[in-house]
Amino acid sequence: MWDQEPQFLAFFVSLYVLIELRWIRKEFLLRVRIAPLLRALDRQAREMSIALNDFEDSQQNLRIIFAQCESTLHNLFPKLNGSEKKMVKELVKILKGYRRPSWWINRQELSRNHAWRIYVDLQVVIESVKYLQEDMKSGRSYGN
C-alpha cells in the first residue's frame, strides 16, 4: 500500500508539470508571434478601410482581404486564451460565411453594413490583442 502513494503523488506532479509546460509554450508562442500577426492584421484593416470607402467597386477586393484576415486570425487563434480567443473564433466564422459556402454555412451576400461590421469587429480584436501584448510586456499574468 505504501508503495502506491509515491506513484500516485508522482502522477499528479507530472500532470501539474505538463499543464505548466503547456502554458509556458503557449505564452512563448504568443510573445514570439504576436507582433508580426498584429502588423498583418493592422495592414489588412487599413486595406479593408480603403476598400470600404469605394464599396461598390471593391467587393471582390474585400473578399480577398477577408480571406487574408481569416488566415491571419487562424494563425493567431491557438496562441490565445479566454475572451480574445472567443472573439477571434466568432470573427473567423463570420468571415467564412462571406468567403465560401459549405453544407453548414451558406454564403452570404456582402453588404456595406455587414462589411463595416466586420471591419469594426476586426478593430476590436486588434485592440484587444494589443492590450494583451502590453500586459505581457509589463509582466502581468497571461492565462485563463
Q: Residue 117 sits in which domain range?
A: 5-138
pTM of the model: 0.74
Per-residue pLDDT of the chain (144 residues; tens, 9 = 90+): 455 677 878 888 888 888 888 877 777 766 777 889 999 999 999 999 999 999 999 988 999 999 999 999 999 998 887 888 999 999 999 888 876 655 555 667 788 999 999 999 999 999 999 988 888 777 665 554
Residue 144 lies in a domain: no
CATH number, domain of 21, equals 1.20.120
As separate numbers, helices (DSSP H) first and strands (DSSP E) second, the chain gives: 4, 0
Q: How many domains does the chain have?
A: 1
* Residue 143 counted as domain residue: no
Quick check: is 84 in a domain? yes
